[in-house]
């Protein structure tokens, strides 16, 4: 049992470090703002720490009446995915409105000419 946990912990550490590196590269390419970079770096550091020391979550898991740490991660994962989809929807909708406005302006401009 301990070897399985150690293996999954190692995988979690590698994933966390990999995403830290990818986030850093994207920041260096100026594809992320300082605020976005700070958010993602904090998230990946927390993920890596939780991979190393998952016992940190035990008080939270007990207070939520969950039987396993994995249940907690699944719930948090679904909450994050729902938030990410909604946020993406809002950004797409905002972009769609901007495009419609630009198209209207161009159409009116061409009609006048």
pTM to 2 decimals? 0.69
Q: In the chain, what are the domain boundaries?
A: 1-52, 70-113
Looking at residue 5, its pLDDT comes to 65
Is pLDDT at 113 greater than 80 in this prediction?
no
Buried b (16+ CB within 10 A) or exposed e, 67-95: eebeebeeeeeeeeeeeeeeeeeeeeeee
Mean pLDDT of 14-32: 96
Is pLDDT at 1 greater than 60 in this prediction?
no
What is the tens place of the pLDDT at every residue in 52-92?
A: 888 898 999 999 998 888 888 899 999 999 999 999 999 99
């Amino acid at each position: 049992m301990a070897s399985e946990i150690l293996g999954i912990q190692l995988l979690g550490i590698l994933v966390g470090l990999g995403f830290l590196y990818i986030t850093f590269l994207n920041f260096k390419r100026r594809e992320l703002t300082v605020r976005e970079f700070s958010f993602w770096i904090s998230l990946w550091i927390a993920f890596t720490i939780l991979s190393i020391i998952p016992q940190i979550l035990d008080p939270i898991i007990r207070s939520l009446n969950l039987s396993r740490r994995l249940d907690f991660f699944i719930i948090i994962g679904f909450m994050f995915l729902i938030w990410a989809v909604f946020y993406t929807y809002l950004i797409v909708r905002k972009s769609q409105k901007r495009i419609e406005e630009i198209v209207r302006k161009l159409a009116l401009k061409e009609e006048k000419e």
